[in-house]
């Protein structure tokens, strides 16, 4: 016969197996242990990293990157700041166009009668970065047409009630919301499908803010394209007061994914090859970079305007404007707004390679 004697004073060291993870401190207790986590980790064994993006801290369509005990916001469009909460100007896009006073002259493309022909009997998309400097007035971003008759005038911009409008004169799509924002950049996109007669309006990262079926017939446009006003068809002043940038027209109705891509990148892209107009106002230029020759000029005297940012102040930030252009012509260089030191070459249909240096 024998007995087993247990020493009640002995204690197993629970921390000996190192149960606490990611730098946590283990504290032995009677029959147990406790982990003191370092900042950024939680759980019994500090095994779970805190999702610092769970509260959705990044604004204006930015992407949130969860890091240990912090986060980073990858801003898109014309925004900066820790949460991408600050609308900015400057060299991310290499310049923009400012209309300083109401009733200033518009920009006009005297070569854009070809655009009217391109938009006849086809689907199309109009997109632009827009910043108003007041509200409660007509602020038209873009228009084409010479007659104030149904389906013979295209316009794209704000009405006096601060709704955004995309219309063919008397056949219009207006947003339900009013946008009374001063000094705030938004990306606006309008699409029209010739197949369904569908009109759509989007803002920023492909957020649909209006949709309707146009009555038809198809719009018949003529005359020059105007940026910053419409023709005197409304009996009121329609001059834009604020700033415009990255104006694009495509001969296709872009889908939401393509609109989202345009929102987060500048330039013309392989996937958006139907571009027929692209005015980036890059470094003091009003050149149409789509290759269709629809450069903009001031309509007539009284030019209350400015082209913001000069080549000297911005070239260092824009890899597409270096002395050695990185993409082989006719490819287009597009700067990513996630990191404005990076770029992509958008090849023509017969080109391929990182710099579009090869041909089929």
Q: Mean pLDDT over residues 163-184, rounded?
A: 89
- Sketch out the chain's domains with CATH numbers: 14-49 (2.10.25.10), 53-88 (2.10.25.10), 96-315 (2.60.120.200), 318-360 (2.10.25.10)
CA distance 22 to 235: 69
- The CA distances from residue 55 to 52, 83, 333, in Å, are 7, 12, 36
Residue-averaged pLDDT of the chain: 77
CA distance 124 to 189: 11
312 contacts 321 by C-beta, under 8 angstroms: no
Considering 40-44, 151-155, 275-279, 301-305, the range whose residues carry the highest mean pLDDT is 40-44
Q: How confident is the model at residue 317 (pLDDT cuts 50, 70, 90)?
A: very low
Specify the pLDDT at position 92. Answer: 41
CA distance 240 to 229: 6
Specify the pLDDT at position 342. Answer: 59
Burial 197-236 (b: 16+ CB within 10 A, else e): ebbbbbbbbbbebbeeebeeeebbbebbbbbbbbbebbee
Specify the pLDDT at position 4. Answer: 46
> What confidence tens digit (pLDDT) does each residue in 10-47 have?
567 889 999 999 999 999 998 899 999 998 899 999 99
Specify the pLDDT at position 159. Answer: 93
Q: Is the backbone of residue 16 left (phi > 0), alpha (psi -120 to 50) or beta?
A: alpha
Considering 23-37, 85-99, 138-152, 176-190, the range whose residues carry the highest mean pLDDT is 23-37
* Residue with the two structure tokens 């310049």: 95
Specify the pLDDT at position 297. Answer: 80
Burial class (CB in 10 A: 0-12, 13-18, 19+), 93: buried
Burial 254-271 (b: 16+ CB within 10 A, else e): beeebbbbbbbbbbbbbe
Specify the pLDDT at position 11. Answer: 63
Lowest mean pLDDT across 54-63, 264-273, 280-289, 346-355: 264-273
Specify the pLDDT at position 126. Answer: 93
Question: Does the global pTM surpass 0.75?
Answer: no
Q: Which two tokens stand for residue 252?
A: 């296709």
Q: How confident is the model at residue 329 (pLDDT cuts 50, 70, 90)?
A: low
More confident: 294 or 319: 294
Chain-centroid distance of CA 40 in Å reads: 32
Q: Mean pLDDT over residues 214-232, rounded?
A: 78
Specify the pLDDT at position 22. Answer: 93
Beta bridge partners of 124: 192
Burial 128-147 (b: 16+ CB within 10 A, else e): bbbbbbebebbbbbbbbbee
Chain-centroid distance of CA 241 in Å reads: 20
């Amino acid at each position: 016969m024998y007995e087993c004697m247990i020493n009640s004073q002995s204690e197993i060291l629970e921390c000996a197996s190192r149960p606490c993870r990611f730098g946590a401190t283990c504290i032995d207790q009677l029959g147990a242990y406790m982990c003191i986590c370092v900042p950024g980790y939680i759980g019994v064994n500090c095994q779970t990293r805190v999702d610092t993006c769970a509260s959705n801290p990044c604004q204006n369509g930015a992407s949130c990157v969860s890091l240990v005990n912090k986060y980073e916001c990858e801003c898109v469009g014309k925004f900066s700041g820790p949460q991408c909460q600050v609308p900015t100007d400057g060299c991310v896009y290499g310049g923009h166009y400012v209309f300083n006073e109401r009733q200033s002259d518009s920009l006009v493309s005297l070569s854009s009668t070809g655009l009217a022909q391109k938009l006849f009997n086809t689907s199309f998309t109009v997109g632009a970065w827009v910043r108003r400097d007041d509200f409660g007035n007509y602020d038209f971003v873009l228009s084409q047409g010479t007659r104030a008759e149904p389906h013979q005038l295209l316009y794209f911009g704000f009405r006096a009630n601060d709704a955004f409008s995309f219309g063919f004169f008397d056949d219009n799509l207006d947003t339900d919301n009013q946008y009374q924002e001063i000094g705030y950049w938004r990306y606006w996109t309008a699409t029209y499908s010739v197949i369904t007669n569908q009109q759509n309006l989007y803002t920023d990262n492909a957020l649909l803010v209006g949709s309707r079926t146009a009555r038809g017939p198809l719009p018949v446009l003529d005359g020059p394209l105007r940026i910053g006003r419409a023709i005197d068809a409304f009996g009121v002043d329609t001059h834009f007061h604020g700033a415009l940038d990255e104006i694009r027209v495509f001969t296709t109705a872009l889908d939401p994914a393509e609109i989202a891509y345009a929102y987060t990148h500048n330039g013309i892209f392989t996937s958006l090859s139907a571009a027929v107009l692209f005015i980036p106002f890059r470094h003091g230029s009003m050149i149409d970079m789509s290759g269709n020759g629809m450069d903009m000029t001031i309509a007539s005297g009284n030019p209350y305007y400015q082209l913001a940012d000069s080549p000297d102040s911005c070239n260092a930030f824009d890899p597409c404007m270096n002395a050695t252009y990185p993409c082989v012509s006719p490819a287009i260089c597009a700067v990513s707004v996630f990191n404005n030191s990076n770029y992509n070459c958008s090849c023509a249909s017969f080109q391929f390679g990182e710099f579009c240096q090869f041909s089929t």
